[in-house]
A and B are shown apart, each in its own frame.
Chain A
């Protein structure tokens, strides 16, 4: 199944690019939404096929989580476009999705059907999928904030929307993780390195939310916060595997595939 990835990916990316260009040129809505959604459908179809072939949710390895991330990015972009009509936002989602698709093509993870017993839980799929959706929203938020600051046009309200939405998913993902940890290991929170970084990320977005509440907040500082938070999020997602402090410490190392 992994060998066919490139075919599905290319079709999806072409459709997303059509959607991005159409939205940038402000063409007909049916073209914008039609092309983007079709691309998402093609990509989702691939994930479902992979799921069936593996007979387990494809969420175990880094490569598999990158699939979901690439799926949700254009979705997040399209949702933002619906609401705020930023012409470039679908393009951003697509761009970031392409980066992660390329990583998957260049460095596919070894596929195996096995799933260690601790991961065989009804919480597994919702926990990771919800997290990936939050990550996608935050990715689009960070890129949008940089664009707004760089072009000196537009306001940060679109970013606020994305962060509120992303933060609600991040919180739900984290709390599902707590329920799961209680069932699997007996404690809902253990300050394991991965959990510590999840807390750092969560707190940083919380700073953003409250900073934006203050009347005189500067958009520049807000942008920096979004970028820093996004970097922390990457550390939590995969960077943790390279942190000396976390070597051989985390019990959440299944991501390595």
Chain B
């Protein structure tokens, strides 16, 4: 043991040792509170980390351990340690910061556990030392190597240190009422330098779908492999029933609810529901039924068509296809922007990204409320720089000629 040069056993002891130190820290210091490294602490830590790394690099001739840290075997063990710990994380339920109880060992909040984070720091240090060794002196042929290794180094370091500076807030808005306050995940209210005024929330829906359910259990038929019929398909068959759509109203209201026959008519304002006039024919008995069905809205109840004692034809609730909010955004620099925010299309202003998050689910497409998520991540450009280096490195890997000789 500990004969030079080190073999896998020594490296494994080093990797295990780092994890063990992490476990000791967890027991004595407690879970990591990431908010403690918010700016400027994270910038100081970054400088410190780089300074230590460069010093280790310069002393690699004198200190054997520092030299080892940029060896392939150390890389294998460091990555394997992190993989093993991440595997544990993948097997156990993670509850996030909520369960990061200061005195728990952290199995269910591993992102706050020293014994998970310390091996990552070790990995990053080994990675940085490796990248440094292969960057000085500079050889052009090592470029893919540098892009891969420096890229990952930048991503790991900046994503971790920057996480404390990420602000993520939710802001519910109502039409015509500019809102400049938003709440964070802990429920604290923040006043922002921007205000959002909801002009209009709009939702497009997919055409309604029809299905047959069991009258007693409510499960879709045939059980286990339910079949549905898109209303835009006009004609189709489920079980023994041939179903024909005679009329489809996307915006409708029921009339004559008190009679035994409900009828729907076109109706274009708040609360309108989808409704369809259906003819269902049993292919075995030739029994023929006609009636209206509807999925209902917050204003009107749904309406099913009873086919027989056991089963009914129903209209499933329409799935949203697209929802978006037209907004006006005011800044404290007295600028006004108008724009549309939708899922996958956030709006960027003054370092904030504004996402379409939610709406009044109860009211669906008639929602008068729209919730936005506002995210500010000052370290994002650095992380993206790392990601782009990794992308370029991946292309390098793709083009690489495997020139190694026989095993």
**Judging by beta carbons under 8 Å apart, are B75 and A186 in contact?**
no
- Say whether A91 faces chain B, with CB atoms less than 8 Å apart: no
| Category for how many chain B residues contact A | 35 or more
The 0/1 profile, CB within 8 Å of A marked 1, for residues 85-128 of chain B is 01101111110000000000000000100000000000000000
Nearest Cβ distance between residue A111 and chain B, in whole angstroms?
A: 10
**Judging by beta carbons under 8 Å apart, are B323 and A117 in contact?**
yes
Nearest Cβ distance between residue B237 and chain A, in whole angstroms?
A: 14
Chain A residue numbers with a CB within 8 Å of B166 are 187
Complex Cα distance A169/B398, Å?
A: 8
- Say whether A213 faces chain B, with CB atoms less than 8 Å apart: yes
**Judging by beta carbons under 8 Å apart, are A172 and B90 in contact?**
no
- Say whether A25 faces chain B, with CB atoms less than 8 Å apart: no
- Say whether A151 faces chain B, with CB atoms less than 8 Å apart: no
Complex Cα distance A219/B323, Å?
A: 54
User: Which A131-184 residues have a C-beta within 8 angstroms of B?
Assistant: 155-157, 160-161, 164-165, 167-169, 171-172, 175, 178-179, 182-184
Count of residues in A whose CB is under 8 Å from the partner chain: 54
**Judging by beta carbons under 8 Å apart, are B90 and A196 in contact?**
yes
**Judging by beta carbons under 8 Å apart, are A189 and B76 in contact?**
no
Chain B residue numbers with a CB within 8 Å of A217 are 407
Chain B residue numbers with a CB within 8 Å of A121 are 344
Complex Cα distance A121/B356, Å?
A: 14
Nearest Cβ distance between residue B220 and chain A, in whole angstroms?
A: 10
**Judging by beta carbons under 8 Å apart, are B79 and A207 in contact?**
yes
User: Which one, B83, B322, B383, B402, contacts A164 given CB within 8 A?
Assistant: B402
Complex Cα distance A39/B228, Å?
A: 33
- Say whether A30 faces chain B, with CB atoms less than 8 Å apart: no
Knowing A164-B402, A171-B390 are in contact, say whether A114-B206 is a contact too (CB < 8 A): yes
28 A-B residue pairs with CB within 8 Å: A110-B227, A114-B321, A115-B321, A117-B322, A118-B344, A157-B404, A164-B400, A165-B398, A167-B394, A171-B390, A171-B391, A171-B393, A172-B394, A175-B390, A183-B345, A186-B375, A187-B166, A187-B375, A196-B89, A200-B87, A206-B79, A210-B75, A213-B75, A217-B407, A235-B90, A243-B91, A244-B93, A245-B93
